[in-house]
């Protein structure tokens, strides 16, 4: 016979409402009561019906992860971080890929929120950085947390987890400068992502701080893809005076650049150093392994989800969290040839 919430309440010596409050992780329940209910749940092997819970009242217990990003590793990390927070806090996760450039994107997202009665959304770039999309969500009073590149946000602009990409780019470029590199190139990602702008700004700042002149022809536009890294590196390798080092806007671009260099018989790092950004599996699957900037995407997503659910429960919590990516030194960077 299936165990019901009535059985749990009777076993724990509490009301059905109390059991419901405990399984919903609602605040202001005494720890002693929580322990009694959880003991009863374990002993009876009770499995709450989350779908029924969502239909039962006005409250929803579903978080939506809406994304438009070609980087599979980034999406998997985000998904895992959000999912772990949802499991910890008694929520379900709905995952919805979309095209942020579609003409009907705002209409689709508002329908998604209403149809699924979503408790809140976790938004990643470029969705989290699009003022038109944010305005459409605000219009229907949707709750959301933004994961964005930057150092700070304006007061009252809502929940946000910031990744200080500029600081990370300064650090990784400084690493190359400290090795003795002065002719350093930059392979860009998609310009609709703020991370591209922030990482390029950090690269330029590091050069300026060290009185190194910026060579604009060393900055190559591109996308966040392996193929873009291949194409960008070919342009740089064909220059009469090759750069001695390349800062790639992410690890996928860096892996493509490394592949192109090896096809041309260019040794890494003896002939040219290549560094990436994000510390994705790409950085550990290349040969040599990539020097990069560690960005804890799973942790970022977990904390973003915690902020969102805390707001949903009207608990006191921070408005923003800031992450400072740090360099990870591996085998793809070294001193330039004398």
State whether CATH 3.90.1300.10 applies to domain 5-48: no
pTM exceeds 0.95:
no
A 10 A CB-CB count for 130 gives 18
User: Fold identical between 62-164+296-325 and 165-294?
Assistant: yes
Residue 150 DSSP label: S
Nearest to 190, CA basis, from 292, 69, 99, 327: 69
Q: What is the second-level CATH architecture of the domain 165-294?
A: 3-Layer(aba) Sandwich (3.40)
Token pair of 96, please? 């919805």
| pLDDT tens, the chain, 338 aa long | 677 777 888 888 888 778 777 776 666 678 888 888 888 888 878 766 555 554 444 457 899 999 998 788 889 999 999 999 998 888 889 999 999 888 899 999 999 898 888 899 999 999 999 999 999 999 999 999 999 998 887 765 689 999 999 999 999 999 999 999 999 999 999 988 899 999 999 999 999 999 999 999 999 999 999 999 999 999 999 999 999 999 999 999 999 999 999 999 999 999 999 999 999 988 998 999 999 999 999 999 999 999 999 888 777 777 889 999 999 999 999 999 87
3-state SS string for 190-230 = CCCCHHHHHHHHHHHHHHHHCCCCCCHHHEECCCCCHHHHH
What's the CATH fold of domain 62-164+296-325? Rossmann fold (3.40.50)
């Amino acid at each position: 016979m299936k165990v019901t919430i009535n059985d749990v309440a009777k076993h724990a010596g509490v009301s059905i409402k109390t059991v419901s409050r405990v399984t919903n992780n609602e605040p202001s329940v005494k720890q002693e009561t929580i322990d009694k209910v959880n003991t009863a749940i374990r002993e009876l092997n009770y499995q709450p019906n989350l779908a029924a819970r969502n239909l039962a009242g006005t409250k929803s217990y579903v978080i939506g992860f809406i994304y438009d990003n070609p980087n599979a590793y980034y999406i998997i990390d985000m998904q895992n971080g959000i999912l772990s927070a949802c499991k910890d806090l008694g929520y379900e996760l709905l995952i919805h890929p979309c095209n942020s450039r579609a003409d009907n994107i705002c209409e689709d997202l508002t329908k998604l929120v209403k149809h699924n009665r979503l408790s809140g959304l976790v938004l990643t770039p470029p969705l989290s950085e699009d003022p038109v999309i944010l305005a459409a969500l605000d219009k229907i009073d949707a709750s959301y947390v933004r994961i964005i590149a930057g150092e700070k946000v304006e007061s009252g602009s809502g929940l946000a987890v910031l990744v200080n990409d500029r600081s990370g780019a300064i650090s990784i470029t400084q690493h190359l400068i400290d090795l003795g590199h002065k002719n350093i190139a930059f392979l860009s990602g998609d310009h609709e992502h703020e991370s591209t702008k922030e990482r390029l700004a950090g690269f330029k700042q590091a050069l300026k701080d060290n009185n190194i002149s910026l060579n604009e022809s060393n900055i190559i536009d591109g996308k966040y893809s392996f193929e873009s890294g291949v194409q960008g590196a070919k342009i740089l390798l064909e220059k009469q005076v090759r750069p001695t080092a390349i800062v790639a806007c992410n690890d996928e671009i860096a892996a493509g650049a490394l592949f192109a260099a090896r096809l041309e018989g260019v040794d890494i790092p003896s002939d040219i150093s290549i560094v990436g950004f994000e510390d994705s599996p790409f950085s550990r699957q290349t040969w040599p392994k990539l020097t990069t900037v560690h960005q804890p995407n799973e942790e970022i997503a977990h904390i973003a989800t915690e902020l969102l659910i805390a707001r949903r429960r009207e608990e006191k919590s921070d408005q923003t969290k800031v992450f400072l990516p740090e360099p990870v030194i591996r085998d793809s960077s070294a001193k330039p040839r004398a």
